[in-house]
Amino acid sequence: MPDLTTLLGLLEHDSPTGHEGPAVDWLLERMQTLGFEVEKDEAGNGIGKMGAGPRQVILLGHIDTVPGRIPVRLETDPKLGPCLFGRGAVDAKGPLACFVDAVAQLGPRQGWQFVVIAAVDEEGDSRGARALLDHYRPHFLIVGEPNRWHRIALAYKGSAWAELHLRAENRHSAHHDPTPAEQAIALWLRLQAWAEAFNRERKRLFDQLLLTLRAFNTLEEDFYTSVRLRLGARLPLDLPPQAWYRELEHLAAPFQVQPLGYAVPAWECEKNTPLVRAFMRAIRQQGGEVAFVQKSGTSDLNIVAPHWRCPALVYGPGDSALDHTPHEHIPIDEYLRGVAVLTEALRLLTTSSNEPPPSDRAPS
């Protein structure tokens, strides 16, 4: 059996968003035994550094998971072989463990520093990623999310949440005016129709506006009835959050629109970079056929990439269709191939890249 200590240890330490501390502490101890210099920052992120050169590669994973414990166990699938089950096996402790193991296998590289970050709160408001923005200026960025070992993700949609609220005087049930609940239903249908019109000529899912109604609540008082809707929007590149909120306020009147949390715009990475080329070569060396994907979700890439403005991509073993499900698992072969690809990609990158170090590039 190959060494799966990093992956197993992460899975055995539960870390739902807001409760990542013990898992971070365990990972820091693990990285230290593998030769990393380690620290925990003020946000609670676990950070391991390998090497001290002027050129820096950040490998940004996240250690938090959605709630719901899945017993850690090894089962054999007839098609996939041995598979490791556990919350986070795919999203995204699998990619994070891959980062740690690959950098440890490669070891220090002359003139380079690898920084592996286990960020907290990615499943929340990305508090961990936001805390990094002004402390690093990497030459290359790799974000850890599951997209299978032979695929490279270059784009993630934006995200914006809002609560829509209406409070109206109570009327007799025989009155012909629509109730607040009926107005809320009409509003949702109106928003769906607008999104359908917006998407009509857009063939790719990545280019479309995707709406979800996540909550619908009514409250009856003595003289008033209130209704609240919680709405999520996945945004394409040409619809930034502020433009969406303006359109939403227009469409939702007379409902009040209250933005929730942190909205983030969509982001697409450049394809023709030394980073992408290194991964393409590494995947082919492992016998894989390279595939590029654009994701309908949002990740920490959307937070850090616009700020750091360096070549970036998203990589990680695991099937993202299993994200957040009670069946989350990763095939051992998938994980090991991911480690092998990343190790070779980092070797190629740090051997062949002739781009200037960050200090020679124009500030973002």
For the stretch 151-172, pLDDT in tens is 999 999 999 999 999 987 766 5
Q: pLDDT, tens digit, for every residue of 327-345? A: 999 999 999 999 999 999 9
Residues 6+ apart with CB under 8 A from 92: 61, 62, 65, 122, 144, 145, 146, 316, 318
- Pick the catalytic residue from 14, 20, 91, 122: 122
Same domain, 308 and 195: no
Distance CA 139, CA 117 (A): 15
Distance CA 274, CA 76 (A): 38
Average pLDDT value for residue range 290-300: 95
- Pick the catalytic residue from 64, 145, 328, 334: 64
Specify whether 249 is catalytic. no
Q: pLDDT, tens digit, for every residue of 225-270? A: 899 999 999 999 999 999 999 999 999 999 999 999 999 999 999 9
Residue 256 belongs to a domain with what CATH number? 3.30.70.360
At which residue do the structure tokens 């002739």 appear?
354
Contact 345, 59 (CB under 8 A): no
Distance CA 274, CA 180 (A): 56
Of 220, 236, 264, the one marking the end of a domain is 264
Mean pLDDT of the chain: 94
Same domain, 226 and 166: yes
Same domain, 162 and 292: no
Same domain, 280 and 210: no
- State both tokens at 67: 């709630």
Same domain, 307 and 224: no
Specify whether 25 is catalytic. no
Q: Residue 281: pLDDT above 70?
A: yes
Which helix or strand (DSSP H or E) is residue 275 part of?
helix 274-285
Contact 108, 51 (CB under 8 A): yes
pLDDT score, position 95: 98
State the number of CA atoms in the 13 A half-sphere of 38 facing the CB.
19
Give the angle 62-33-117 at the CA atoms, nearest 5°: 20
Tell me which residue range forms the domain holding 184: 158-264
Distance CA 63, CA 17 (A): 9
What pTM did the predictor assign?
0.91
Q: Find the distance separating the first CA and the last CA of the chain, reported in whole Å.
A: 46
Of 242, 264, 286, the one marking the end of a domain is 264
